[in-house]
Amino acid sequence: MAIFASYYKHIHLTMSIQQDKIAALVERRAKARLGGGQKRIDAQHEKGKLTARERLALLLDEGSFEEFDMFVQHRCTNFGMEKSHPDGDGVVTGQGTIGGRHVFVYAQDFTVSGGSLSKTMSEKICKVLDMAMRCGAPVIGLNDSGGARIQEGIDSLAGYGDIFERNILASGVVPQISGIFGPCAGGAVYSPALTDFTLMVKNTSYMFLTGPAVVKSVTGEDIDQEGLGGASVHASKSGVADFAAEDEQDGIETIKRLLSYIPQNNMETAPFRPTSDPLNRMDDLLNEIIPDNPNKAYDMYEVIRTIVDDGDFFEVHKDFAKNIIVGFAHFGGRGVGIVANQPKVLAGVLDINASRKAARFVRFCDAFNIPLVTLVDVPGFLPGTQQEYGAVITNGAKLLYAYGEATVPKVTVTLRKAYGGAHIVMSCKQLRGDINYAWPTAQIAVMGADGAVNVLYGKEIKAEADPARQAEVRAEKKAEYEELFNNPYQAAQKGYIEDVIEPRNTRFRVIRALESLQGKRQELPAKKHDNLPL
């Protein structure tokens, strides 16, 4: 009996030690989840910001988050840092699902040393980036940080370098999305800049290399944080941000929506989205949308919404270079990237910013197997010293290059103008466009009639003494040019386009073209890498 009593006492003792350890774990986890403590969480809320964990809770499917490295601590012993070792340090990392799809995440925790980057923090971030690449899953990073952890000196800078290198290696392998939910300054801005998409939150986030005080001392300019590097500035002026969210909730929802249009990795295609929208749906609006006057605008958004599934178009870079529209949509359930000139803004002309914007989008789509549908109405490139001095040549070449090297299915529809170099740039046949259509209203030519008549007959017209006769000759020559060139049939006769289609039938023709290109295989010549004009 005595033996049994001793045995049970031992069991009881073992269990209570185990229970104690479990309780200690639970307690330690709870403390880690508080990051820098309740006071700092309250301060974060007072600024109208959520905490790292609250953001992840909104982003990920309920109950799907598995945290990594919750107990990782910094190793710094400078400036009193040895006295405090918060578990997890200043970033929450792990994996979870969004709409059932596997993703890796990290969210910088401003409540711990202002989310500043320590070497251990960078190791946590690098770990999820490495795992994302191994597993072929997207990475979403939520930034809210005071930059390099000052107490760690060069170790922190090295940490940034390690992250940048991972961002570069992961580029084109898995989608990388950056959300800027607070400060992001100095060299820290380069991680988002290396990723595929950057979203900023209006009024509570900013990105700049040097802050307002340094700007003032160096250039004398008076500018506040929002004016220098706020969401609106980067979404509309610099193009650094693809999206400007109204608030954090809107930002998280936008990230989720973006993810729903893109594939897991470069070996997969975009998720198929079943639709009840009839594949052969015709819309008479398209037969009437092109104005009689070629100098009059119409709204390309109307065309896009009319032809895509369920009118659903998810625009990227909405407020930047509005003369070109880029974004995601579906045709018969298949995900595509749309690039379209917008005649309503600057007559849809191509310029430096429009070229940069569209080139980057085309390259993303090509890297991730997303077919491209291009809607063309472009009068040419914007002339002027501002454009030439700003290297419109190199920047225009980016778009040309992006289309020319893209091997995904490429379907092009020319609605109206396609003049000169701009015609070639916008996914023409010679840049390996797969199926190129034109509406009967298309004008595929070297230039518009007015310009052509000036070059070809300017002297002859001037030689006429009578102004009325001058006008007569000009009109005759214009009519001759328009008859010959301002139509799609020159291109169609030469096989530069596959067909001239009825506008209202565009949806069906695009869907059928995409279906026929499903099995497309095209390789680039072997090379170490290309030398894209930069």
Residues that bind ligand HXC (CB under 6 A): 40, 113-114, 116, 146-150, 157, 160, 183, 185-188
Provide the minimum distance between the beta carbon of 73 and ligand HXC in the complex, in angstroms, as a whole number. Answer: 15
Active site residue 422: yes
Identity of the residue, 121 or 492, whose beta carbon is nearer to ligand HXC in the bound complex: 121
Between CA 95 and CA 372 the distance in angstroms is 31
Identity of the residue, 32 or 112, whose beta carbon is nearer to ligand HXC in the bound complex: 112
Identity of the residue, 48 or 278, whose beta carbon is nearer to ligand HXC in the bound complex: 48
Between CA 49 and CA 385 the distance in angstroms is 44
The one-letter amino acid code at 205 reads: S
Name every residue whose Cβ is closer than 8 Å to that of residue 316 and which is 6 or more positions away in sequence: 197, 242, 243, 258, 326, 327, 328, 361
Q: Are strands 443-445 and 334-341 parallel, antiparallel or unpaired?
A: unpaired
Contact 331, 311 (CB under 8 A): no
Q: Which two tokens stand for residue 530?
A: 């290309």
SS3 488: coil
The one-letter amino acid code at 100 reads: G
Identity of the residue, 41 or 358, whose beta carbon is nearer to ligand HXC in the bound complex: 41
Identity of the residue, 148 or 289, whose beta carbon is nearer to ligand HXC in the bound complex: 148
DSSP percent split of the chain into helix, strand, coil, nearest 5: 45, 15, 35
Identity of the residue, 36 or 138, whose beta carbon is nearer to ligand HXC in the bound complex: 36
Active site residue 186: yes
Provide the minimum distance between the beta carbon of 186 and ligand HXC in the complex, in angstroms, as a whole number. Answer: 3
Between CA 497 and CA 16 the distance in angstroms is 79
Burial of 95 (0-12, 13-18, 19+ CB in 10 A): buried
Q: Which two tokens stand for residue 329?
A: 């949509």
Burial of 253 (0-12, 13-18, 19+ CB in 10 A): middle
Provide the minimum distance between the beta carbon of 360 and ligand HXC in the complex, in angstroms, as a whole number. Answer: 22
Active site residue 335: no
Provide the minimum distance between the beta carbon of 104 and ligand HXC in the complex, in angstroms, as a whole number. Answer: 22
Identity of the residue, 33 or 305, whose beta carbon is nearer to ligand HXC in the bound complex: 33
Where is 320: in which H helix or E strand? Answer: none
Provide the minimum distance between the beta carbon of 322 and ligand HXC in the complex, in angstroms, as a whole number. Answer: 32
Identity of the residue, 146 or 448, whose beta carbon is nearer to ligand HXC in the bound complex: 146
Provide the minimum distance between the beta carbon of 206 and ligand HXC in the complex, in angstroms, as a whole number. Answer: 9
Q: List the one residue out of 164, 25, 34 whose CA is nearest residue 42.
A: 34
Contact 349, 380 (CB under 8 A): yes
Q: Read off φ and ψ for residue 136, nearest 5 degrees.
A: 65, 50
Provide the minimum distance between the beta carbon of 187 and ligand HXC in the complex, in angstroms, as a whole number. Answer: 2
Cα 206–Cα 197–Cα 176 angle in degrees, nearest 5: 115
The residue from 136, 239, 421, 451 that is catalytic is: 421
Contact 57, 33 (CB under 8 A): no
3-state SS string for 56-95: HHHHCCCCCCEEECCCCCCCCCCCCHHHCCCCCCCEEEEE
Contact 262, 175 (CB under 8 A): yes
The residue from 422, 438, 491, 513 that is catalytic is: 422
Active site residue 421: yes
Contact 224, 213 (CB under 8 A): no
Provide the minimum distance between the beta carbon of 515 and ligand HXC in the complex, in angstroms, as a whole number. Answer: 47
Provide the minimum distance between the beta carbon of 40 and ligand HXC in the complex, in angstroms, as a whole number. Answer: 6
The residue from 90, 114, 186, 348 that is catalytic is: 186
**Radius of gyration, alpha carbons of the chain:** 28
The residue from 136, 172, 187, 333 that is catalytic is: 187
Q: How far is CA 265 from CA 101, 170, 360, 519, 531, in A?
A: 12, 10, 17, 18, 23
Identity of the residue, 183 or 379, whose beta carbon is nearer to ligand HXC in the bound complex: 183
Burial of 434 (0-12, 13-18, 19+ CB in 10 A): buried
Provide the minimum distance between the beta carbon of 350 and ligand HXC in the complex, in angstroms, as a whole number. Answer: 34
Between CA 487 and CA 417 the distance in angstroms is 9
Identity of the residue, 25 or 214, whose beta carbon is nearer to ligand HXC in the bound complex: 214
Q: Which residues are catalytic?
A: 186-187, 421-422
